[in-house]
Structure 1
Amino acid sequence: MKQKQKSLLIATLLAAALAAGGCATQDPRAGAPAAQSAVQPLAQGRWDAFNRARIDALIAAHGKGSPGYDARKPPYAVFDWDNTSIFLDIEEAVLVYQLQNLRFGATPQQLDTAIRLNIPHKAFNAPFNNAAGQPVDIDKVAPDIIESYTWLYRNYSGLKGSQSLEQVKASPHYQNFVAKMRYLYEAIGDSFDHAVAYPWVTYHFAGMTEAQVRSLTADTVAWQLGQPIEKVRWTSPAALPGRAGVVSVNWKNGLRLVPEMQDLYARMRAAGFDVWVCSASFVDVVKEISSNPAYGYNNPADRVLAMELERDAQGVIQPEFRRGYAQTQGKGKTQTIERFLVSRYGYGPVFVAGDSEGDQNMMQDFADTRAVLIVNRLRASDIGKLSGVAVQTYGKADAKYLLQGRDDNAGVFVASQAHTPLGAKEGKLLK
């Protein structure tokens, strides 16, 4: 039987089971009957039908109308943001928009400090050798970046100069700066631990305020939604080889909002769940895209846990990770949830959603979690093992891990567990 037909059959049987016995559902925590919630079920959208039925059952079992529901102690859900709540990564998109439009608040000296902060003095992994095949490290590429940024800083009217953006874009310094900055981001992420790579990209907000970061994010989203979904390649100019030489970088463009996740946020809130976001992107960036009504998620800005930086007395962002805070990736997500949510509610999240290794800890670490949604990106490591569990338990009424398929060619969910990578024609369940 084809996957989609099988999904529909399983969902139909599950729905029938839920409806059995009049208006009662089964509470998966205690096995006790629970009054069916009056909250509307999820829109069909492009959900895998079994996943949608399982989430509807969870909402009915724990939300308003269920015997155990207490508005003073509501259930809560925790969502990752990038590649879970949206298609692609908002932090990466903001970096590209920031580079293309030179939306920076840092002086050359401040930027030099930011791009070097905590980066090991050793060569990047071999895929990030320069065009001549020579290894590159931070001590080679940082001087090239700062040399070009200094020229832009002194000449661009949006910084300290008098030339228009179009005029400075005609200089090789512009392409050298943007290409090597974007290259450096990828090289760090590929070569070093997440604890080094994740906060690095946030330091480029140094010298800005929350309002400026949120405005930058809004401009980024407006731009990205009009971009095609495709791979983009930037190469630094041969006219300015510098110490690093000519380097190139590729990434995916075309961020998209996800209607199914917008609907899930809304349905959970309507059912009396508190909905939280826990993201490895910068907090002000996530606050804007998750709370701005224009983007359809409508989650309160104070329900965001994300990467934090120090700020001065005027609220100006500093290139320093906020002291006393955990990085919101990997084990840091669990620590952050324990600090700010478990201490507040007295229990863990009933539902968790994510897509990557950075989410696997919060998916497994809380005994109160009844369902975990994994957006399938064909990842390996422990998240791959959890995806395997989702495949093995597919169709079972007590399945905890739910694997949701996606087609990267269109930036949309698909009605199965399979993931179709960009450029591929067929989907796969597991890596």
Structure 2
Amino acid sequence: MHHRLRTSAATAALALAATGLVATVPAEAEHRACPTLKVSEGWYGDNKARLDALIADHCHDKGKKPVAVFDWDNTVIKNDVGDATFYWLLRNERIRPPRNGDWSTTSRHLTPGAAAALGHACPSGVRTLPTATDSRCADEILSVYGTGATTGGAAAFTGFDHRRTEPQYAWLAQLLRGWTTRQVESFAAAARAENLAAPQGAVQRVGTSEVTAWVRHYPQQRDLIRTLQDAGFDVWIVSASPEPVVDVWAKGVGVHPSRAIGIRNTTEHGRLTAHLKGCGTVRDGEDRMITYIDGKRCWINQEILGVHGPAAERVQPASRRHVLAAGDSDTDVSFLRDATGLRLVLNRNKNELMCRAYENGDGRWIVNPMFIEPKKPKTTPYPCATTGYTAADGTAEPVRRSDGSVIPDQTDSVP
């Protein structure tokens, strides 16, 4: 109806102009038409049409702006900017050793065995660790971060809530201790330039390992973000990478750093510490909740909706929640479930997320293959009814609906 009114008003104005009369165009006619997605390639089935319809439904809403929330790594871009920055730090010797060589001060969840292995492999008493040339030290740090285990195979982290934090992700932020936010942003910018310039499929050597050396923006997601913004949406990025890193990358898709949320360090005398900001019932410095699974919900409620204290950990009324969410991993499942309009999932074969997306109980989940190097379809069903869900203590359990009933195993149907 509104589109017809705008067209009629514009036609009348042109007719009057042709006769030399002056027309006053109604205020409604001055409103821009609702934008639609420009990039069609890569969208599966009717996903593009459904996104366009959602945008049209909320286009230039009066009053409060509709909110859209995107995960970053492997959702807006291909590959992981936290990893890219971490590899750059190791190659360029930007990791400071812990005070007195005590690696347990870098994470409250680091096991004594991992702290000892790191202390044995890396020197102390230096300004920054010589990880460009000392492959033994680089290998140990890379193993703890990348696999959650020492090079000897021992578990590196313990004693954490698996629905609130991932200590490996948090450790990257904690290893930035001693630098200023501006310095970390410069490291991230250097890593960004290298990874965008490198050819697709490029690898680099860190220590004695070969690791990924390239990142690409998804044109489809850049287009979606721009279209949402043009339609009056408030678009946010929420990532489990350090916030200064996310800020640098988010600007590349037109999202201002004020609309980017990542892992936040506490600061001391203008420099980052090895402790993290808290959310909900978790206080600053307790280091027990980051932007991860239920932690993402808490940070979204706190930073976007303005809900603080214990209430930030709970699902908010539908009228307050975001309309659109996009993610690719189990780390995104809580804030995706909270979206009231559509939940866009890029299929990376993650158990809990794909169980919920394929079951699609309320018809609001849409699944799309990754836009670059999509996964091959799983040959076996997702184990929804048995082990698809990871509990707070790390136990594998069935994936359950909100009413407690178990979701049956799901077949991978969108590669």
TM-score of the aligned structures, taking structure 2 as reference length: 0.70
Give the counterpart of 1:120 among 91, 107, 111.
111
Report the alpha carbon displacement of residue 318 of structure 1 after superposing the two structures with TM.
0.4
The residue type equivalent to 2:295 in the other structure is G
The residue type equivalent to 1:312 in the other structure is E
Q: For residues 377 and 37 of structure 1, do their structure 2 counterparts lie closer, same or farther at Cα, with a shift above 3 Å needed?
A: farther
1:272-287 equivalent positions in 2, closer than 5 A: 272-287=232-247
Is the 8 Å Cα contact of residues 108 and 146 (structure 1) preserved in structure 2? no
Give the counterpart of 1:141 among 103, 106, 117.
117
Give the counterpart of 1:62 among 39, 58, 64.
58
275-284 vs 103-112, which deviates more?
103-112
Determine if the alignment matches structure 1 residue 225 to structure 2 residue 196. Answer: yes
Determine if the alignment matches structure 1 residue 362 to structure 2 residue 357. Answer: no
Structure 1 gap ranges (5+): 1-18, 25-34, 122-136, 237-247, 410-417, 422-427
110-119 vs 89-98, which deviates more?
110-119
Q: For residues 408 and 321 of structure 1, do their structure 2 counterparts lie closer, same or farther at Cα, with a shift above 3 Å needed?
A: same
Question: What SS is found at the alignment partner of 1:343?
Answer: coil
Give the counterpart of 2:358 among 388, 395, 398.
388
Give the counterpart of 2:181 among 196, 210, 218.
210
Is the 8 Å Cα contact of residues 388 and 430 (structure 1) preserved in structure 2? no
Q: Distance in 2 between matches of 1:430 and 1:51?
A: 12
Q: Distance in 1 between matches of 2:72 and 2:356?
A: 19
The residue type equivalent to 2:356 in the other structure is L
- Alignment RMSD, CA only? 3.4
Is the 8 Å Cα contact of residues 37 and 63 (structure 1) preserved in structure 2? no
The residue type equivalent to 2:272 in the other structure is I
Q: Percent identity, please.
A: 24
1:14-37 deviations in Å (ceiling 9; x for gaps): xxxxx9x9689xxxxxxxxxx997
Report the alpha carbon displacement of residue 211 of structure 1 after superposing the two structures with TM.
0.8
1:123-175 deviations in Å (ceiling 9; x for gaps): xxxxxxxxxxxxxx40452123322x65xx36xxxx59xxxx9xx95x5xx22
Q: Distance in 1 between matches of 2:272 and 2:32?
A: 44
Determine if the alignment matches structure 1 residue 93 to structure 2 residue 84. Answer: yes
357-366 vs 92-101, which deviates more?
357-366
The residue type equivalent to 1:419 in the other structure is K
Task: Please name the residue that 1:303 is paired with.
Answer: 259
Is the 8 Å Cα contact of residues 144 and 168 (structure 2) preserved in structure 1? no
Q: For residues 234 and 429 of structure 1, do their structure 2 counterparts lie closer, same or farther at Cα, with a shift above 3 Å needed?
A: farther
Q: Distance in 2 between matches of 1:111 and 1:375?
A: 40
Report the alpha carbon displacement of residue 220 of structure 1 after superposing the two structures with TM.
0.4
Q: For residues 289 and 111 of structure 1, do their structure 2 counterparts lie closer, same or farther at Cα, with a shift above 3 Å needed?
A: farther
Q: Distance in 2 between matches of 1:41 and 1:235?
A: 43
1:37-76 equivalent positions in 2, closer than 5 A: 38-43=33-38, 44-64=40-60, 69-70=61-62, 72-76=63-67
Q: Distance in 1 between matches of 2:5 and 2:47?
A: 21
Q: Larger relative contact order (C-alpha < 8 A, sep ≥ 6)?
A: 1
Question: What SS is found at the alignment partner of 1:332?
Answer: helix
Is the 8 Å Cα contact of residues 114 and 203 (structure 1) preserved in structure 2? no
Report the alpha carbon displacement of residue 231 of structure 1 after superposing the two structures with TM.
7.8
Is the 8 Å Cα contact of residues 231 and 250 (structure 1) preserved in structure 2? no
Report the alpha carbon displacement of residue 183 of structure 1 after superposing the two structures with TM.
1.3
The residue type equivalent to 2:364 in the other structure is K
Task: Please name the residue that 2:136 is paired with.
Answer: 176
Determine if the alignment matches structure 1 residue 347 to structure 2 residue 320. Answer: yes
1:50-85 deviations in Å (ceiling 9; x for gaps): 111111100000112xxxx21x31101011111111
Question: What SS is found at the alignment partner of 2:290?
Answer: coil
Q: Distance in 2 between matches of 1:42 and 1:340?
A: 28
1:288-347 deviations in Å (ceiling 9; x for gaps): 1102xxx2x11111111221111013x200011124264110111111122222337970
1:175-194 equivalent positions in 2, closer than 5 A: 175-188=135-148, 192=157, 193=162, 194=165
Q: Distance in 1 between matches of 2:109 and 2:292?
A: 17
1:167-204 deviations in Å (ceiling 9; x for gaps): x95x5xx2222222111112317955443222111111
Task: Please name the residue that 1:196 is paired with.
Answer: 167
Q: For residues 330 and 209 of structure 1, do their structure 2 counterparts lie closer, same or farther at Cα, with a shift above 3 Å needed?
A: same
Task: Please name the residue that 1:316 is paired with.
Answer: 271
Task: Please name the residue that 2:220 is paired with.
Answer: 260
Task: Please name the residue that 2:290 is paired with.
Answer: 327
Is the 8 Å Cα contact of residues 225 and 235 (structure 2) preserved in structure 1? yes
1:241-291 deviations in Å (ceiling 9; x for gaps): xxxxxxx75644321111111111111111000001111111111011102
Give the counterpart of 2:366 among 386, 390, 402.
402
Q: Going by fraction, where is helix more abundant, 1 or 2?
A: 1
Q: For residues 139 and 98 of structure 1, do their structure 2 counterparts lie closer, same or farther at Cα, with a shift above 3 Å needed?
A: closer
Is the 8 Å Cα contact of residues 47 and 366 (structure 2) preserved in structure 1? yes
Is the 8 Å Cα contact of residues 96 and 177 (structure 2) preserved in structure 1? yes
Structure 2 gap ranges (5+): 7-28, 308-316, 378-411
Q: Distance in 2 between matches of 1:37 and 1:389?
A: 37
Is the 8 Å Cα contact of residues 115 and 142 (structure 1) preserved in structure 2? no
Report the alpha carbon displacement of residue 420 of structure 1 after superposing the two structures with TM.
4.1
Task: Please name the residue that 1:374 is paired with.
Answer: 345
